[in-house]
Amino acid sequence: MRAALPLSLSVLILLLAPGAQAERAALLQPEGPAALAAPLARDLAGALTKVGHKVSPPATATRRLRAAQKLASTLEQARTLLRRAAEAHLSMKRAGALKLARRAVSELEAAGARLAAPKLLARAHGDVALALMLRPADEVSAGAAFARALAADPTYKPDRDRAPPRVRALARKAGQRRGGASAPTSAAFAQAAASIKVDRLIWIGAVQRGGGARLIVAVFDARDGSLKRHEHLLASSSAIVAKATPLVSAALGAPAKPPRPTPTPTPTPTPTPTPTPELTPTPGPTTSPTPESTTPTPVQTSSPWYKRWWVWTIVGVVVVGTAVGLGVGLSQSDDPSGWDVAFRF
């Protein structure tokens, strides 16, 4: 008889079977002006899930990145370095401010802050540019540092307390030269994908263009290390999520729908016939079975009660007793005008 697999083992086999699980994708924090990036961060992952792509929202991806890479201590240390760099800048200590800011950039990039903490990384690059603008000023290097800051966070703006109009103009010029958001490198994507253990990472950069927008979509596939970049021009920036959903869905390709596992029929155990114990005849007189008689048995009917002898015997005794009683009673009466009753049998 073929034994059936336990239910728990059957479920485990289905879960571990190739293609049994949907591929996992994570949407990183969109970059760009708040009017474009905020609705994308809030609603795009849900819209992609509705059309068949299983996508984690940016808040989940960022939280997992920081937890997986243990960025908490690195971020705190970088903030301390940047605070000291700002103090050195206010004291006009160019070398000290530049050294501290560059050290903060190095530690943040090594920890993968380009995707986990882009605003802090942009601030570090901006502080490098501010330090380079101290005497003797180096506008070329400072412009390149501003460009890197805007690459990490397109909404970056230098601190007004430390950036005179000439420095702010240099930062704006660097942003115009760049042309807006740019996708992270393949190395940054690979590090992030390995940290949070997903198959694909989705990065979106949005740039305002008059009444429209330019949308940059980058999809990194950790399974083969490929990075695909798509760019779209939108005539209007209104309803950005509805317009971005089909574009990002096309960049992801057809939704990976896992094949529905076919339930394995559990073989029904064949009942084993129970052997009937043999009866051993006991020595003794044997009686042959009497065949059933086909002759009907006559039904005996009893005679009516008034034809039975004992009924009339009782009646006679009662009558005789009554008569004797009456005779004795009347004979003892003092009334001379009595009468006699005689019974003859």
**DSSP-derived secondary structure letter, 202:** E
Q: Which residues contact 155 (CB under 8 A, 6 or more apart)?
A: 31, 32, 33, 34, 37
Q: What pLDDT shows up at residue 313?
A: 83
**Closest CA relative to residue 263, chosen from 8, 10, 21, 15:** 10
pTM of the model: 0.62
Q: What pLDDT shows up at residue 340?
A: 53
Determine contact, residues 69/57, Cβ cutoff 8 Å: no
Q: Which residues contact 4 (CB under 8 A, 6 or more apart)?
A: 266, 267, 269
SS3 207: strand
Q: Which residues of 133-142 are buried (b: 16+ CB within 10 A; e: fewer)?
A: bbeeebeeeb
pLDDT averaged over 10-residue windows placed end to end, the chain, 345 residues: 39 34 80 91 95 93 82 90 96 96 95 90 97 95 94 89 94 80 87 90 90 92 94 91 94 69 56 52 49 48 68 81 74 54 49
Q: What pLDDT shows up at residue 175?
A: 82
Q: What pLDDT shows up at residue 263?
A: 57
The residue type of 95 is A
